Amino acid sequence: IALLIIILSMFYLGLIGILLNRLHFLSILLCLELLLISLFIGIALWNTNLVLPQNTTFNLLLLTLSACEASLGLSLMVALSRTHSSDLVASLNLLQH
């Protein structure tokens, strides 16, 4: 039960980090990665109790999607820093041409 508390605290720490620390795009990406890692650890530990072949497939799928999300987020950050010369979220205005 202590491991469940640690995983839930990691998840809520990442969620609070996204909600409160929205100054830089990189900090938002790091908090999002913390959310995904806590979900992956939680689902992987939950699937160790169940012995089905689909469980390992779901773990690998979640890990692959989190890696794709990380690469997409970093490419968005590079594009943002090239066009707006910073990674500040406040300088991003989507309504401009």
pLDDT tens-digit map of 13-66: 999 999 998 888 888 888 998 998 998 888 888 877 777 667 778 788 888 888
Residue 13: CB atoms within 10 A of its CB come to: 14
Q: How far apart are CA 63 and CA 47, in angstroms?
A: 14
Domain locations along the chain: 2-84
* Mean pLDDT, residues 62-85: 86
Tokens of 84: 């707006």
pLDDT of residue 50: 75
Backbone angles phi, psi at 18, to 5 degrees: -70, -40
pLDDT band at residue 3 using 50, 70 and 90 as cut-offs? confident
Pick the CATH number of 2-84 from 2.30.30.60, 1.10.287.3510, 3.30.479.30, 3.40.640.10: 1.10.287.3510
Q: How far apart are CA 60 and CA 32, in angstroms?
A: 18
